[in-house]
Amino acid sequence: MIAPESTSPRHPRRRSAAAPSVLVLSIVGAVLTLLALASCGVPIDDDPRAIGRSTISSDTEELRQTPTTSDSPGARQVSVYFMRNESIASVSFPVDGLPTLAEVLAFTVGEPPDGYNTAIPSGTAILSAEVSDDVAAIDVTPDINNISGQAQKQAYAQLAFTAFSFADVDTIRFSVGGNPVDAPTDNGNRESVRPGDYDDLRPTE
């Protein structure tokens, strides 16, 4: 005898609650992480970004670094020019060996000695300095553009007279960040600079 087919309703299987629970926990965890980052003051960007000057505190100043001098009795003396009483003045530094023009110019962007000051803005660096056929080609960073007018002319004069202290330099051409510039002088902006272009700032000894 064939048993009659059951007419009782089938109970549907219960869906597992594990999957939505995991999803909810993941969302809650992500929200808590974002809240924690915000409370710590960490900026959240949509895309990665490089850390540049604009992302560094404006209170941070670049320090001047003066090259190392020599304690040797036979050290060579190099002439470097700074400002004193609105004129440029020579200061001697003892160094070992035969320094290059770039190495001597590095003193001009360093800390001035006691009793002197500098018109060259902090952060300015010498990118290159080469001499060919009595012409010095000097390339500096764009920081030198942070000043203008008389101060900028004084800054270029410091660099120029320091270079003119080399016997094989009688003309200078400047570049800023690799781009040639006309340097400010007593005679206006000039592509090539000679000692007579800074008579108003003639060095005092």
pLDDT in tens, 128-137: 999 999 999 9
Would you tell me the crossing angle of helices 101-108 and 149-164 to the nearest 10 degrees? 140
Distance CA 54, CA 60 (A): 11
User: Using an 8 Å Cβ cutoff, are 156 and 183 in contact?
Assistant: yes
Is 11 part of any domain? no
Cβ contact 102:108 at 8 Å: no
On whether residue 2 sits in a domain, the answer given is no
Domain count, the chain: 1
Q: What is the pLDDT of residue 83?
A: 95
71: tokens are 């304690």
| Residue stretches of the chain with pLDDT short of 70 | 1-67, 203-205
- Cβ-based neighbour number of residue 119 at 10 Å: 22
What is the C-alpha separation between 174 and 152, in angstroms, rounded? 13
pLDDT at 97: 87
SS3 call for 165: coil
Q: Residue 29: what pLDDT?
A: 57
pLDDT computed for residue 186 by the predictor: 94
Amino acid in the structure at residue 90? S
Instruction: Give the pLDDT score at 1.
Output: 43
Q: What is residue 201's predicted lDDT score, i.e. its pLDDT?
A: 92
Predicted pLDDT at 69: 74
- This model's pTM is above 0.75: no
At 66 the pLDDT is 64
6, part of any domain: no
The reported pLDDT for the residue numbered 45 is 35
Residue 50 falls within a domain, yes or no? no
Strand order in the sheet with 171-176: 126-132, 135-140, 171-176, 179-181
Q: Residue 19 domain-assigned?
A: no
pLDDT at residue 118 in the model = 96
Residue pointed to by tokens 């974002």 = 34
Evaluate whether residue 44 is within a structural domain. no
Containing domain of residue 130, as a range?
Answer: 76-199
Domain membership flag for residue 183 = yes
For 43, the token pair is 């900026």
Q: CA of 9: how far to CAs of 2, 6, 15, 108, 140, in Å? A: 20, 8, 18, 96, 89
5 occurs within a structural domain: no
pLDDT of residue 74: 81
